[in-house]
Structure 1
Amino acid sequence: NNLRDKDSVAIVTYGGVTGVMLNTVSGAEKEKILKAIDEMEPGGNTPGESGIKLAYSVARNHFIKNGNNRVILATDGDFNVGLRTEDELDSLISRHQKSGIYLTCLGVGMGNYKDSKIQTLSKKGNGNFAYLDNFKEAEKVLMEEFTKTLYAVADNVYMNVDFNPEYVKEYRLIGFDNKVGALRDSLSVIEGGEIGSGHSMLALFEIVPTEINKGAIKDHYENGKLA
């Protein structure tokens, strides 16, 4: 309902059979878009590989120069036909990385939900990721935070955190359990990928100070005081 006349949208499905549910139409044709959405039904296997390839093909055929060209993938990440491993998905998406087409992944569902696969897709596709566990969250991501989700202002953003070993003995980056090898030596390189309009990056570390630095840290809890 919020699409502009100059916007264009197509719908690709891959439940059982991969196909184009709605050929690319103008944002002005809202009735046609809503009708296609209402007619969609879940069912069959999920051939993620062919679905993703077809979506990128449609996006390339209707590429808008200097526009916001994006594939929006709504999935539980359980691709049970075709490419299945994260390495295979990584390779598939990486081939489209420099095409000027961004990838937004919307995680849905419970039970067999594959979070790490979806994060791999969004990272390699110069895109972003959101988990929609209810209708309210979907409204927040796709309506209230629409520009943050769909409009990129920077690509391949990295955050480098360099600890001085004289003062920091050990450290742990919190929240990167899926990113094996994210930390090495005293330097942590955190890949943020695409940054949307109004988005920010946050790195939270737990550290163990060295003996040199211990005197500079007041531990009020051990002193029996409120922090």
Structure 2
Amino acid sequence: MKENKVLSSVKDEELIKKRRDQMIKGALTLFKEKGFHRTTTREIAKESGFSIGTLYEYIRTKEDVLYLVCDSIHGEVLKRLEAVVDLKQPSVKNLCNLITSYFHLMDDMQEEILILYQEAKSLSKETRGYVLQKERDMALMLEKAIIACLPHRLPKQDTTLLANNILIEGHMWGFRRWMLQKEFTLEEYIDRQLSFMLRAMGINAEELNWRVDDGTSNVI
């Protein structure tokens, strides 16, 4: 799938990036407070620090803003995960470190992940496809890490399911926080989820002697 292209009447790529970064930051603030549908483009422009006329030099529709926000959230997650993926020295501990880093990242980005779940449905079918492709890219990155780090190969379907489970369990910390965060600290949640995952991978967590609070995890 080709990259979605949000049209701009401005030709300066650096200026486009600067203004859109301002726009994304402003829109995120408003979407967190009142959601996509109740936020106007005029409010986005004001929160971003420029006029409504300037706003429309960099986007065409309000949906463009939502797409840029969703794309930015996925881009940040992917960038920060890629920074901790180390397949040159693959091991189960490295995989645990990656998963732990991902859960910490999801804790940092709880509000942003909620926006993805609540508002991405407002995108057109084609644009939503670009956003969903970013989810597939993250799942594929986790699949590669699982394959590289495990001492034995899981069936392809199991690997795919496990990678998607990891993604959703990270998201769940945010969108089920009303319940989970009354019962668990983040470290307890990570510890239990890792125990479940390792068991599913056929690995004894006690034999691995690895815990999220032992100072070995590379938290983002």
TM-score, normalising length: structure 2: 0.27
Structure 1 or 2: larger helix share?
2
Larger strand percent: 1
